[in-house]
Amino acid sequence: MSLTLHPRDGVSFRFDPGALCLEFLVSGGVGVYVHYETLHEPADLARWAAVSRLGLAEVDTTADELARAKALRAALWGLAGDRVHGRTPRQADVDAVNRAAAEPPLTPVMTADGLRSWAAPATGGQVAATVARDAIELFTGPYADRVRECAGDNCALIFVDTSRPGSRRWCSMERCGNRHKVRAHRSREG
């Protein structure tokens, strides 16, 4: 599922991180990511869950659940950064993900028209547990070595490369891939 991102330069673009846990990173974070923070109050986590690949229509979230979700997101930033830079993950980040994953996840249900949905109402804790379980699947699964950071200048977006050849380099060809091609063309024109 692609997200439409709206950076400060005003040029929107589509980005598919390839995994729910990496999609959660786009909601902000600490340090350099604080400028992109979108989770200011409990209702913001519900809004994220609605527009994410979860597509949840109803999430009841408490302030404590929001704080735990943000702590999970910080741990995910750590794990993802360690993965893309070939470092051993910090034990504190691993423990945070495992704690979140131990909570009850969202409950899948089948709709009358045969589609998958989620039992409602969901809680913020269930959303975080589902994100954490997705992270465990990603970082221990067959695509763990394909978690990458965009090769674009000054782009820290992280994605999982699920392409057959495993050659994805950019967060989005519309943005960073195109910028690289334009720079390469200009340098050849010289």
Q: Can you tell me the distance from the alpha carbon of 13 to that of 179, in angstroms, rounded to the nearest whole number? A: 12
pLDDT attached to residue 7 = 74
* Residue 131, φ and ψ in degrees, nearest 5: -65, -45
For residue range 72-84, what is the model confidence (pLDDT) as tens digits? 999 999 999 999 9
pTM of the model: 0.91
Domain ranges of the chain: 17-162
Q: Can you tell me the distance from the alpha carbon of 103 to that of 131, in angstroms, rounded to the nearest whole number? A: 11
Q: Can you tell me the distance from the alpha carbon of 174 to that of 155, in angstroms, rounded to the nearest whole number? A: 13
pLDDT by residue, tens only, the chain of 190 residues: 677 777 777 778 788 999 999 999 999 998 888 888 999 999 999 999 999 999 998 999 999 999 999 999 999 999 999 999 999 999 999 999 999 999 999 999 999 999 999 999 999 999 999 999 999 999 999 999 999 999 988 888 999 999 999 988 988 887 787 676 767 657 777 6
pLDDT attached to residue 122 = 97
DSSP line for 10-36 = S--EEE--SSHHHHHHTT--SGGGGGG
**Beta bridge partner(s), residue 14:** 4
Architecture of domain 17-162: Orthogonal Bundle (1.10)
pLDDT attached to residue 35 = 82
**Beta bridge partner(s), residue 15:** 3
